Amino acid sequence: GGHSLLATRLISRIRTIWSTHTTISDLFRYPTPALLAEHIAAGAGGGRANPLEAVLRIRGSAEASAPPLFCVHPISGISWGYAGLLRHIGEEHPVIGLQARHFTEPQRRPGSIAEMADDYLASIRAVQPHGPYHLIGWSFGGMVAHAVAARLERLGEEVRLLGLLDAYPLPEGFEPRPITGGDVLDGLLGEVPADVSVHCAEGAPDVRELALLVRDRAPGLGELDGPGAAAVVEATIANLDIRLRHVPDLPFTGDLLFFNAAGTPAPLTAAEAWAPYVGGRIEEVDID
CB 284 within 8 A of CB 270: yes
Whole-structure pTM value: 0.84
pLDDT at res. 107: 86
pLDDT at res. 3: 45
Strands (E), the chain: 55-59, 69-72, 95-98, 133-138, 159-165, 256-261, 282-287
**SS3 assignment, position 59:** strand
pLDDT at res. 116: 97
- Specify the DSSP element, H or E, that contains 38: helix 33-41
Helical pair 140-154 and 226-243, crossing angle rounded to 10 deg:
60
Which CATH number is associated with domain 51-169+253-288?
3.40.50.1820
Q: What is the largest CA-CA distance in the chain?
A: 58
**pLDDT tens profile 266-287:** 777 888 999 999 999 999 998 8
Higher pLDDT, 131 or 264: 131
